[in-house]
Amino acid sequence: MLENLLRARKLQADEPPLRVEDYRQRALATGVPELDTLLAGGFPRGELSEIHGPASSGRTGVLLALLARTTAAGALAALVDPLDRLDPASAAAAGVDLERLLWLRGPRVSGEEPQARTLAEATKAVATLVGAGLFDVVALDLAGAGREPQRLPFATWQRLERLVEHTKSGLVLLAESHVACSPGGRVLALEPAGLRFSGPPGPACLLQSLAARARAGGHRLREAELTLAAV
Amino acid sequence: MFGGLHSPRALPEAGALVAVARAFTPRVEARAPTPVLLDLTGLGRLYATPHELGRALIAAAAARQVDAQAALAFTREAALVIARACPGLTVVPAGGEAAALAPLPLALMDLEPEQQELFARWGLRTIGELASLPPAALAARLGLAAARLVHRARGEDAGVLVATPLPERFETTLELDWPVSGLEPLAFLLSRLLEPLTGALAARGAKAASLAYELGLADATIHARTLRPAMPSGDARTWRTLVLLDLEARRPKDEIVRITLRAEPAPARAAQFSLLDPALPSPEKLAETLARLDAWTAAGRSGSPRLVDTHRPGAFAVASFAPGPLPRGRRDASPRGPRVALRAYRPPRLAQVIVRAGVPGFVSAPGVRGTVTAAAGPWRASGDWWDRAYSREEWDVALVPGGAFRVFLDRLRGQWFVEGELD
């Protein structure tokens, strides 16, 4: 009886009543000042955003920074990883609270490009996660999938845009080149700008950092230099 | 009057003696599997003498293959201790408890090891010797607990009998007059069964940690599954959704003629929420979401990644996703800045590597090919020689036309692999 009464008045302990803040006003910051300035505060909630760039342009490092910032604040994040590329040690080193990260791993793919069915399943899983409204960040990692993401029906991305609208979640795609972005979302384009080693090749040589150029919305006027430290 | 039942031999099953006792009275206090204390108040109307009642107790135990010894006394302490000490049946007359206990060894009183050692040093061997000590003087030396021991040794009770509750089963079955085939009518029937079941759990301050459902099918087979979400739930609607989602993924082969639901109770969750942290999702909602991702969860491909305590490269575990409250101090953790991450290839890709002057000069593997422009290494690692040994030489290389990769030489197999892309 008491539980019914509490539920009816929305005072049930499972969902505390002190959460009336409008989350949508707060963008999802990456915690990297250069990027957050470039993105006008971070990736917006309720929108489909995108991080794209070629291999070794720091895409994964930026995504992990976003996941680290989100989970460190106590929120939940989900990563749909159809190609099973996440390295949990790198995620932990970037500061991701692994307990708050839901990781959906794709099946093992022997070739370089995943099957279209795997990507379709992944987008379905993203739709479920976004619809649940439990996660502040839902990320779909399509980097390394070649041209397959572009071959998915355009309606797939429209459907995801609709689903994420009016939710507290920010949906972020990680890809090699532009795939999709909602009108209010952000596109972060990354280009590799070289690797830095500690010295000449030899037994004491270490990879120190990876430099990248970041552009928001493909606009050359809004550009930033980014340095990712090696673990 | 109280009764003590004890079996000096191993019991055929753990609850056998308690079951014998429950056949006589519901007020039974089980001290582990044996001995068992019975409140026999009121049984005088059924049994003319205490001896007759005692013999009935022993006979009932023998019928269950339990070789029991019984003691009937007017105090609980006397009944329990004498039942453990004396074979057969012992009936202690009112007021004769101290005398009956006096010759018995002190070890029967379940003393603490320190107390046993101390009383042995004092030369106390029997319960009677302990009973003869003045309680006030003993309390002055050893504290109030020691004074209580003297009272126990005299066969006097302290406290009350704490009846062991009956083990409860949260199970319900519905036999259907007409077979059901679709999920929609089943949803209605499940609600009818789940609401009283979760209500019974809630009345005992519990939730269901797991729910086993058995569907009797028209072809006389049984479709049985057990659902175990990350957190216990007491919400009938959630359990109904979980069962329906499970049935959607694994359809029964035939029409359903009987439904049995069995819940495993767990104490209701008590969580302290924080005013500053984001709210955690309700376990019910989380369980529903994970159930909807059945294609990923059923194959064990979803969860929360965990690091494992090993130096083996690339080792990790995947645990079930059940986030708890944010630990203290983590809230203010300052960001570490972006880091280079490894995009792992699972399994690592077999590679052809041309080595020039001890340094990789050219790498060729599926999806990775180019001349090495810069390399850092080698980092040697080996271990697990007692199990699945590994020994490797690791390099971080930058390639033309682009990209940085981690390659390693498996020194045990003499083969190169690309472990992943540095991004």
Blockwise average pLDDT, block size 10, chain B, 423 residues: 89 84 89 85 89 92 89 91 90 90 89 87 91 89 86 85 81 90 88 91 88 92 88 88 89 91 82 64 82 78 90 89 74 71 92 91 92 89 88 92 92 93 92
Give the closest-approach CA distance of B277 to chain A in angstroms.
6
Predicted confidence band of residue A17 (pLDDT cuts 50, 70, 90) = very low
By C-alpha distance, the chain B residue nearest A107 is B301
Q: What are phi and psi of A15, to 5 degrees?
A: -125, 90
> Is there a contact between B340 and A105 if contact means CB atoms under 8 Å apart?
no
Sign, CA dihedral A79-A85-A87-A88, equals: positive
In chain A, residues with a C-beta closer than 8 Å to the C-beta of B207 are none
Nearest-Cα distance to chain B for A154, in Å, is: 23
- The string of DSSP codes covering B341-384 is -EEEEEEEEEEEEEEETTEEEEEEETTEEEEEEEEEEEEEEEE-
Q: Judge contact between B103 and B30, C-beta under 8 A.
A: no
The token pair at B356 is 């020039």
Closest CA to B180 of B265, B258, B110: B258
Chain B segment 363-382 residues within 8 A of A by beta carbon are 366-367, 374-378
Nearest chain A CA: its distance from B120 CA (Å): 54
Measured between beta carbons, which residues in chain B are less than 8 angstroms from residue A226? 338
Task: Measure the CA–CA gap between B375 and B399, rounded to whole angstroms.
Answer: 9
> What would the pLDDT profile of A41-50 be if each residue is shown by its tens digit?
899 999 999 9
Residues of B in contact with A121 (CB under 8 A): 295-296
According to the model, what pLDDT value does residue A18 have? 43
How many A×B Cβ pairs under 8 Å?
Answer: 218
For A59-77, the pLDDT digits (tens) are 999 999 999 999 988 889 9
pLDDT of residue A2: 56
Residue A3 confidence class, pLDDT cut points 50, 70, 90: low
Q: Do B292 and A54 touch (CB under 8 A)?
A: no
> Residues of B330-366 as b/e, b for ≥16 C-beta within 10 angstroms?
eeeeebbbbbbbbbbbbebbebebeeeeebbebbebe
B28 to chain A nearest CA, in Å? 32
pLDDT for res A8? 56
CB contact under 8 A, A16 and B273: yes
Chain B 308-347, residues with CB within 8 Å of chain A CB atoms: 314, 316, 318, 321, 323-324, 326, 330-331, 333, 335-347
CB-CB neighbors (< 8 A) of B398 in chain A: 56, 195
- B277: nearest CA partner in chain A: A74
| Residues of chain A positioned with their CB less than 8 A from the CB of B342 | 87, 89-90
Q: Of all residues in chain A, what percent carry a pLDDT higher than 70?
A: 83
Answer yes or no: do B331 and A210 touch at CB < 8 A.
no
ipTM for the whole complex: 0.86
Q: Which chain B residues are closer than 8 Å to A30 by Cβ? A: 338
* Lowest-confidence segment of A18-32, A172-186, B363-377 by average pLDDT: A18-32
Q: Do A98 and B306 touch (CB under 8 A)?
A: yes
Q: Check CB contact under 8 Å for A94 and B338.
A: yes
From A221's Cα to the closest Cα of chain B, the distance in A is: 23
- The answer to whether the CB atoms of B422 and A210 lie below 8 A apart is yes
Query: Chain A interface, mutation test: which of B241, B340, B350, most A Cβ atoms within 10 Å?
Result: B340
User: For an interface test with A, which of B245, B343, B356, B407 has the most A Cβ atoms less than 10 Å from its Cβ?
Assistant: B343
B248/A contact by beta carbon, under 8 A: no
Query: What b/e string do you get for B151-173 counting C-beta neighbours within 10 Å, with b at 16 or more?
Result: ebbbbbbeeeeeebeeeeebebe
| Cα distance between residue A9 and residue A6, in whole Å | 5
How many angstroms separate the CA of residue B263 from the nearest CA in chain A?
20
